[in-house]
Amino acid sequence: MGNIGNYDEKYSSFRWKMSEQELSYGKDGMFNLAYYCSDLICERGHGDKLAFLWQGFKGEKKEYTYHDLSVASNTIAQYLAGHGMKPQDRVCLFMDKIPELYISFLGVLKMGGIVQPLFSAFGEDALFTRLEDAQTRAIFTTMKHVRKIRRIRDKLPDLQFVFVVNAGDKKLEKGEYAFSLAGIPRVDTFDIYKADPEAPSVLHYTSGTTGKPKGAQHVHSSIIAQHVTARWALDITPDDIYWCTADPGWVTGTSYGIIGPWSNGVTQVILDAGFSSEKWYQFIQQHKVTVWYTAPTAIRLLMKDGTSMVEKFDLSSLRHLISVGEPLNAEAVIWSEKAFGKPFYDSYWQTETGAIVITNFPGMKVKPGSMGKPFPGITATVIDEKTLEPITTPGRVGLIALKPGWPSMFRTYWNNKEMYDSKFKNNWYICGDRASIDQDGYFWFVGRDDDVINTGGHLVGPFEIESALLEHEAVAESAAVGKPDPVNMEVVKAFVALKSGFQPSADVELSIMNFIRKKLSPLAMPQEIEFVDSLPKTRSGKIMRRLLRAKEWGEEIGDTSTLEND
Ligand code: WT7
């Protein structure tokens, strides 16, 4: 039967215990993840080591040692406390990948706040939903993005402070405060908030099939899982130069763009510039990147430029390559072996799991197209949809399920305990994805078990798109589904029935597309709009998205009576 559902519970608790010892309470009973990511590294004698090198889109660079990181994050923590901010207050970070984003992430946590990172490309509607739900008290942003906050500020009574980074002498509005690290007194020592390991730390919003986006709430002790997986799944060691291409507006950019690497005392490089293969290879060559964590969509874009582009650069520093966010197709793994002389190792996890749970870890034989096996300490399996019991037949598809209790597991959905509880069945946490396990214990991803659209590794909720579509003057009703795309795996397609008085036209299509891009984000913007007279519905009036989706994927839909009960 192979090792389906391997790693028994005894082994699992043993592993996490070991890591707790390694991360034992710091000075005076300190258990604050920001302390482990900066001050502890300094206390261990590595204050002069580079924590990160940042490079902007014009090629400009900034460098911060661990000592700099410690002082700068203290300074931000003090700045927040000085404004009367309290532990548990939600502080949103709404910025491009500038140094202040990374530093304030630690600063908020040192003050005891709950940090709420949001993707800077979000438009005002996407932003509003998430700030309203979290009752966010303060937000860090830049001049580039402050307009979006201004447009919704009146509707956000809890939002007391808007800190505008590097505003210079630009005119600010009431309740906005110019913030510059260089412009406030530096704080060498700060009385870091002594968090309970179970104290809330990070709040990441993620999309589901129904309702508004949900805030997955993490705790300080998540660091145990992020630390250990960064060390053993990403294989980062103190001598590495590590590059995580993800934006901290999403969970990969915090768990493995901040917490995992810095708690391991590694030097990371950050590129705040758009994608181009040439720029990326140049960056790897220039900084001698050794460990590279990226996403399948990026790999497929690199593949488009072929191995001839790779050959123009010296990428011999690369030692270990890992991918996350969407299915890593076998062709991409095989191409990477040809192009870089090593395969991409897949890793599977979610905003809710906080850390990698299934992966090809170093030393494992990679089966191209498989996600690998459960990380030691994680009990993972696939369960039968009806019986909710683990499937023991190799190759049979079921729902990916995890035994609850790993350290980085989300502790609730903010304001939505009911939805949180609905994710647990028969003592399993149900991830919402389908997969099978082969006779050797390798997991093979099949697809999502809901209507959420995964575009370029980013989840987009159909409900959020449909709600925004309804705000457009021409739209009577709509459905948003994922349609296949060679690079992004899926892109958004909208089916729209127009209000009377409106006729389908290229102009209306463009106007709807732009409307969504502006309100939500470029990711949520439909790449195609199909105008229809009406949408297929169940007897109770619910739109049958799955029928529309199946058509896009050329799948047989078969008996639609089951869909009616959805
Ligand atoms: C969803 C989670 C994990 C951090 C970034 C995304 C899909 C994730 C893989 C993979 C196939 C994957 C799943 C999952 N996904 N990794 N290796 N192979 N699918 O976090 O936004 O919460 O998305 O991304 O559907 O449930 P997220």
Lookup: tokens for 352: 């809710």
Residue 291 has pLDDT above 60, yes or no: yes
Digit-coded pLDDT (tens) for 361-381: 898 999 999 999 999 999 999
Residue 9 to residue 379: CA distance in whole angstroms: 7
**Using an 8 Å Cβ cutoff, are 361 and 232 in contact?**
yes
Lookup result for tokens 């019986």: 387
Residue 335 to residue 425: CA distance in whole angstroms: 40
Q: Which SS3 state, helix, strand or coil, does residue 376 take? A: coil
Residue 130 has pLDDT above 90, yes or no: yes
**What residue spans define the domains of the chain?**
453-553
Cβ of residue 119 lying under 6 Å from some atom of ligand 1: no
Residue 452 to residue 411: CA distance in whole angstroms: 22
Indicate the pLDDT class of residue 543, thresholds 50, 70 and 90.
confident
Cross-strand pairs, 430: 401
What is the phi/psi pair of residue 48, to 5°?
-85, -5
Q: Is 446 exposed, middle or buried (0-12, 13-18, 19+ CB in 10 A)?
A: middle
Digit-coded pLDDT (tens) for 80-105: 999 999 999 999 999 999 999 999 99
Mean pLDDT of 186-209: 94
Q: For residue 347, report the distance from its CA to the centre of ligand 1, in Å.
A: 9
Residue 441 has pLDDT above 60, yes or no: yes
Cβ of residue 344 lying under 6 Å from some atom of ligand 1: no
Q: Whose CA is nearest to atom 24 of ligand 1?
A: 325
In the sheet where 528-531 sits, what is the strand order?
A: 475-485, 489-498, 528-531
Indicate the pLDDT class of residue 14, thresholds 50, 70 and 90.
very low
Q: Name the nearest CA neighbour of 225 among 251, 194, 260.
A: 260
Q: For residue 350, report the distance from its CA to the centre of ligand 1, in Å.
A: 5
**Mean pLDDT, rounded, of the chain:** 93
Residue 354 has pLDDT above 60, yes or no: yes
Q: Name the nearest CA neighbour of 555 among 447, 480, 470.
A: 447
Q: For residue 430, report the distance from its CA to the centre of ligand 1, in Å.
A: 13
Cross-strand pairs, 531: 496
**Using an 8 Å Cβ cutoff, are 166 and 145 in contact?**
no
> Residue 558: what pLDDT?
62
> Residue 367: what pLDDT?
95
- Going by the DSSP 8-state scheme, the letter that residue 375 receives in this structure is P
Cβ of residue 346 lying under 6 Å from some atom of ligand 1: yes
Q: Whose CA is nearest to atom 20 of ligand 1?
A: 350
Digit-coded pLDDT (tens) for 36-74: 999 999 999 999 999 999 999 999 999 999 999 999 999
Share of the chain above pLDDT 70, in %: 93
Furthest C-alpha separation in the chain: 71
Question: Which atom of ligand 1 lies closest to the CA of 246?
Answer: 5
Q: Cβ neighbours of residue 535 under 8 Å, at least 6 residues apart?
A: 477, 478, 479, 495, 497, 543, 544, 548
Q: For residue 461, report the distance from its CA to the centre of ligand 1, in Å.
A: 14
Question: Which residue among 375, 458, 459 is best mutated to probe the pocket of ligand 1, counting the most ligand atoms within 8 A of its Cβ?
Answer: 459
- What's at 32, amino acid-wise? N
Q: For residue 301, report the distance from its CA to the centre of ligand 1, in Å.
A: 19
Question: Which residue among 255, 322, 350 is best mutated to probe the pocket of ligand 1, counting the most ligand atoms within 8 A of its Cβ?
Answer: 350
Lookup: tokens for 482: 């994922």
Lookup: tokens for 22: 């390694």
Residue 359 to residue 345: CA distance in whole angstroms: 7
Question: Which residue among 226, 300, 329, 349 is best mutated to probe the pocket of ligand 1, counting the most ligand atoms within 8 A of its Cβ?
Answer: 349
Mean pLDDT of 383-410: 97
Residue 455 has pLDDT above 60, yes or no: yes
Cβ of residue 327 lying under 6 Å from some atom of ligand 1: yes
Cβ of residue 454 lying under 6 Å from some atom of ligand 1: yes
Cβ of residue 349 lying under 6 Å from some atom of ligand 1: yes
Mean pLDDT of 347-352: 98
Share of the chain above pLDDT 90, in %: 88
Cβ of residue 324 lying under 6 Å from some atom of ligand 1: yes
Q: For residue 48, report the distance from its CA to the centre of ligand 1, in Å.
A: 36
Residue 401 to residue 379: CA distance in whole angstroms: 8
Cβ of residue 280 lying under 6 Å from some atom of ligand 1: no
Digit-coded pLDDT (tens) for 214-240: 999 999 999 999 999 999 999 999 999
> Residue 29: what pLDDT?
73
> Residue 278: what pLDDT?
97
> Residue 539: what pLDDT?
85
Q: Whose CA is nearest to atom 14 of ligand 1?
A: 350
Residue 201 has pLDDT above 70, yes or no: yes
Q: Whose CA is nearest to atom 17 of ligand 1?
A: 348
Q: For residue 349, report the distance from its CA to the centre of ligand 1, in Å.
A: 5
Q: Whose CA is nearest to atom 26 of ligand 1?
A: 350
Cβ atoms within 10 Å, residue 298: 21
Report the b/e string of 107-133 with b at 16+ CB within 10 A. Answer: bbbbbbbbbbbbbbbbbbbbbbbbbbb
Number of separate helices (H) and strands (E) present in the chain: 18, 27
Q: Whose CA is nearest to atom 8 of ligand 1?
A: 325
CA 553 to the chain's CA centroid: 26
Cβ of residue 348 lying under 6 Å from some atom of ligand 1: yes
What are the DSSP calls for 286-324, one per residue?
Answer: HHT--EEEE-HHHHHHHHHTHHHHHHTS--TT--EEEEE
What is the phi/psi pair of residue 482, to 5°?
-90, 135
Cβ of residue 433 lying under 6 Å from some atom of ligand 1: yes
Cβ atoms within 10 Å, residue 506: 8
Cβ of residue 251 lying under 6 Å from some atom of ligand 1: yes
**Using an 8 Å Cβ cutoff, are 493 and 552 in contact?**
yes
**Using an 8 Å Cβ cutoff, are 378 and 12 in contact?**
yes
Indicate the pLDDT class of residue 9, thresholds 50, 70 and 90.
very low
Cβ of residue 74 lying under 6 Å from some atom of ligand 1: no
Q: For residue 213, report the distance from its CA to the centre of ligand 1, in Å.
A: 16
Domain at 453-553, CATH homologous superfamily = ANL, C-terminal domain (3.30.300.30)
- Planar angle of CA 489, 491, 496, nearest 5 degrees: 150
Lookup: tokens for 392: 């023991």
Q: For residue 448, report the distance from its CA to the centre of ligand 1, in Å.
A: 9
Residue 146 to residue 517: CA distance in whole angstroms: 17
Mean pLDDT of 120-146: 98
- What's at 233, amino acid-wise? A
Q: For residue 457, report the distance from its CA to the centre of ligand 1, in Å.
A: 7
Least confident residue range of 184-188, 206-210, 227-231, 492-496: 206-210
Residue 265 to residue 41: CA distance in whole angstroms: 6
Q: For residue 326, report the distance from its CA to the centre of ligand 1, in Å.
A: 5
Q: For residue 13, report the distance from its CA to the centre of ligand 1, in Å.
A: 25
| pTM given for the model | 0.93
Residue 18 has pLDDT above 60, yes or no: no
> Residue 560: what pLDDT?
60
Q: Whose CA is nearest to atom 19 of ligand 1?
A: 326
Residue 309 has pLDDT above 50, yes or no: yes
> Residue 161: what pLDDT?
98
How are beta strands 138-142 and 161-165 bridged, if at all?
Answer: parallel
> Residue 265: what pLDDT?
97
